[in-house]
Amino acid sequence: MRIELLALTSLLLLFVVIPTFAMAVDFNQSVSSQDKATFDQILTPVMTIYNLVKYISSAIGGVVLLFAGINYMMSGADPKKRDDSKNMAMYVVIGLIVIWAAPLIVGLISG
């Protein structure tokens, strides 16, 4: 029952809602200098918060990487501890890449 409801909702979204919004948006409008100034005014505190979160998470990621490295060295012959340490380090590195690359990806998509 849930799968049918999900499929019906997806079809409704795909064929009714999205085309309705796409028709309502005029993509040929030019951006005025007032709109650009307003956008920049809104974007400034958002980027400040993003940078704060980025640097704090990088510091925490560094500490977790240090912990994973120490845990790996202390694992000895226990393969489970070794794998857990490798996975922890891999997840931290992937998370840091995502956090640091997010503005570049958004810039590529929007620009």
Tokens of 4: 């049918």
pLDDT tens for 94-109 read 999 999 998 888 878 8
pLDDT at 25 (0 to 100):
60
> How large is the average pLDDT for residues 24-50?
81
Q: Are 54 and 100 in contact (CB under 8 A)?
A: yes
Q: Are 58 and 96 in contact (CB under 8 A)?
A: yes
Higher pLDDT, 27 or 105: 105
pLDDT category at 23 given cuts 50, 70, 90 is low
pLDDT at 69 (0 to 100):
94
Q: Is 25 left (phi over 0), alpha (psi -120 to 50) or beta?
A: beta
Task: Flag whether pLDDT at 22 surpasses 60.
Answer: no
